[in-house]
Structure 1
């Protein structure tokens, strides 16, 4: 990301201007050396030019500046009488400095390409887990954003998805404990189970049980391969939008941040996590409790991972999610729209933490579309 940002900064109207700083430096050294005369020779400073080029330009441009520096050194030095010339010693310094600059540029470009390749792999992995969702999918207007933590630039275990089915639309938002490919693999396993169980199972509690079983099976499989995922768990919110009650939503909260019901008339906090996180269900008895909550047609459900609620400012204060959402809706009720709401929270978190996110951050919002046919009829069409 830093490489891409630098390449964008060093472009004007789509054209690279990375060659400008070393060229300006070269011209400045020549002018100063010629203007100050024999008493103050700085032509040897020209060795800095290919070094600057190595930090900003590609290998071939750096090579060009190394050769140009040698030619310019000879041209400027021969202007002076023999007794005032810098001589062959400084010529060798400029030559060696240019050669080292070319090598440094080649090493830098290779490292940046490897970094970009790894970032592309991470992004592809994330997109494989967080599959793109069609607009107005399964009778829901939705919006989501995922922000990678800037501390390690590693992929994490945040996940979300919408699954239509004959028993209504189901939504899953969660966060796997830990980072790296192990967390992504666990998220992918849970999403795979959700997509199947969310479609086939009529009871939301059964879907929740299937997620718990999948986590235990996944941990057992990883352990059999010699991995160390025996304590892996995930917090999550599982939602069900029943077709027989368009003014309600079913909710199972696996120790996750409680969703917010955001509407033009205010903000409500839905039930908190009375279930243990997915993977720790064997510590309790009974089926996961399912809450049925009334939901207005104009209310949006906002769900976030702990990257939002644990974002800190310089004073160490956490991001006040509920307070900020209440303030935003009071100022403009139209901000209950999922896209505007997600954008507002995303910008608020980035601004609060000044761009230094301590954890992967996901913001996801859904709202029923008005006037849509039931999901079952759409699936059969």
Structure 2
């Protein structure tokens, strides 16, 4: 009797449905199969370079990445932005000021490295301000590092340039978890600048918004000294056997973005303007944010929960990134097209004629990271 392949079977069932993927990764299932050829899955063989100490093909690809983002250095990792956050915490000094919506990796890294976090309370659907940061630092003279999330899950950005200028006067280190903003800086007309422009170093999850495979990320910095220090920490924290298939996928994504990102993102910008207009006609406003690719539908006018709309879309073979209270997050990328936008418009138009029952909106899904307390159970 043939043994079941539970994970593979689950993935093939999803792929065969030909879903509209408005969730990460940014390739949307349209990356092509060639990069996942098992013949490309190798180890360090001299000619194949070494991620821990790159000097050949990997280094050249990192240099291409740095040029794309207009930074001095780019450090690849196949440990996701989590590994970059861990490296930031590892090299931090003093207490670390972060935001209450920070990724779970910040809390985990602080525990691993014995660091103390000072958390700024941040409302779910608004960005931090410079005054928030100033007040926190004025109240605690032991803060030596600031690590902020920008953009956040809802596409909201902190005023990084103002915060950088203020922190520079205080000689406080500044890191940005820019996991959701790997596409920032690739279309200057419609998107904010790359977060690395306004801090000591930023980490971006290339897999979230670029056509790159899951787990691929890059640390970006304009300091050679800091890059070398962060590289040492990455080598301590990450696997000694990084996947060449993942690295090749990241390499392809960076090359693709260098050639096509600006054009594809500009096209997407206008398609999503149409989507926002059509949603407004259905009394579904979209949260104003700094990232046009992240459509946050506000279902409060309908009086229904984000979960109800999320589940309806799933039944229509449209899979959103997440829901939170009365919001639903649709994550588009340069691999989406106008036909994808049309599918969302049609689905929401049908739902508007038969709205779900009104209910109190609460909860986040389709999953939540376990809390520190839950991890200890």
- Structure 2 length-normalised TM: 0.24
Higher helix share: 1
Bigger CA radius of gyration: 1
Greater relative contact order (CA < 8 Å, ≥ 6 in sequence): 2
